[in-house]
Amino acid sequence: MKAVAVFPAERRFDVIEHPEPSMSAPGDVKMRMLDVGICGTDKEIVSFQYGQPPDGSPYLVIGHESLAQVIEVGENVTRVKPGDLAVATVRRPCGIASCIACRQGRQDFCYTGLYTERGIMRRHGYMTELVVEDEQYLNPVPAALRDVAVLVEPLTIAEKAVAQLFQVQQRLPWVLPPEPGEPPAHGRNALVLGAGPVGLLGAMKLIIEGFDTTVYSRTPAATEVSSLVAGLGAKFVHAETVAVPDLAAQMGQIDLVYEAVGASSLAFDVLRFLGTNGVFIFTGVPGRKEPVAIDTDDLMRDAVLKNQMIFGTVNASPAHFAAAIADIGRFNARWPVQLRSLISHRFPIERASEPLSGKWGGIKNVIAIAS
């Protein structure tokens, strides 16, 4: 069967012939892959900056943002049946006995760093025709979300971030629970940095939680993104025309910054304007660039005197996948047009190299493996 694979030692990636997987345990599920999304991580893997093939394999099958249809189930499988749609999680436990996080099924908090990840770290991914997976790693998806459920995995970043935000903000007894009839973050201001898929899905999540949301981005496609964001009921501010201090003055008290751009200089510039009792969440991984000068005294003084919280977050648990599937359903009901506009192009697997090598712009490019 066909698969998109990277050969790091030979510094190439290609569509290859890859052996079909077989069912080997009673909890196994065989799936036909439908859609596989492409993100910055995939682009880094195919340019040999990140990722690692499974032990003993010269190549890694890439792809971690998936949607599949179940075609065969082992005798112990109860959560899905043939015909069902499912999104598989990405990270698998490290298997080290002392790692209490992995032992509890929370490999998203793995201590050892020895976890594996499908399509990224030492485990083949989903950009191929057939996949076999243990049912415990599958999340059933309603059939009505067939054309948008490839966005579930990138949304799990926001789901985990927002779940932690609400845990953290329980320190403020007047924030939660909300006023009767209002969503949890009613009356609070959120700033999203970045208008890629992680930023825009994050903005959708923050809006349904009740935040007054502003998206700040340098995107060259400002006109399109600005109308998309306006359609969500949020504000778009273009970083090319409004400087950070002016943005902060427009917004007033900034209760939350959701960073989704991976640019550390911008992030720390914005951190200076985080409000009292505010929370700053990092989700981006910056590339290595020149050091940036920042006033650490100012940042530390504000962190203390304004009771600020700053945290980073990565990966997601099965509960966050379930929440993302439910929220894609809510987005679909509220913003059917905007949600679909996040998916820019679909490509057949033979043409995977075009979006992977960055020849196509847009928000989220998807490899449509089967229909």
- Measured CA to CA, the distance from residue 262 to residue 33 in angstroms comes to 30
> Least separation, in Å, of the C-beta of 307 and Zn ion?
32
Stretch that binds Zn ion, among 93-101, 155-163, 286-294, 311-319 (CB under 5 A): 93-101
Candidates 110, 148, 260, 267; binder of Zn ion (CB under 5 A) is 110
> Least separation, in Å, of the C-beta of 38 and Zn ion?
8
Stretch that binds Zn ion, among 39-47, 143-151, 205-213, 236-244 (CB under 5 A): 39-47
| Nearer to Zn ion among residue 41 and residue 313 (C-beta) | 41
- What does the DSSP 8-state code read for residue 52? B
- Measured CA to CA, the distance from residue 199 to residue 188 in angstroms comes to 18
Residue whose entry in the numeric block shows the structure tokens 């648990």? 317
| Nearer to Zn ion among residue 112 and residue 265 (C-beta) | 112
- Measured CA to CA, the distance from residue 255 to residue 273 in angstroms comes to 10
| Nearer to Zn ion among residue 108 and residue 255 (C-beta) | 108
- Measured CA to CA, the distance from residue 241 to residue 25 in angstroms comes to 57
- Measured CA to CA, the distance from residue 20 to residue 9 in angstroms comes to 24
Q: CB–CB of 100/39 below 8 Å?
A: no
Stretch that binds Zn ion, among 100-108, 176-184, 190-198, 252-260 (CB under 5 A): 100-108
198 binds Zn ion per the rule CB under 5 A: no
Candidates 102, 204, 247, 324; binder of Zn ion (CB under 5 A) is 102
| Alpha carbon distances (Å) from 282 to 151, 227, 268, 295 | 20, 26, 10, 19
Stretch that binds Zn ion, among 112-120, 166-174, 200-208, 305-313 (CB under 5 A): 112-120
| Nearer to Zn ion among residue 194 and residue 278 (C-beta) | 194
| Nearer to Zn ion among residue 102 and residue 261 (C-beta) | 102
94 binds Zn ion per the rule CB under 5 A: yes
- Residue in 343, 363, 360 with CA at minimum distance from that of residue 351: 360
| Alpha carbon distances (Å) from 72 to 11, 30, 68, 80, 219 | 36, 5, 12, 10, 43
Stretch that binds Zn ion, among 7-15, 97-105, 175-183, 349-357 (CB under 5 A): 97-105
Residues contributing to the site for Zn ion (CB under 5 A):
39, 41, 65, 94, 99, 102, 110, 112
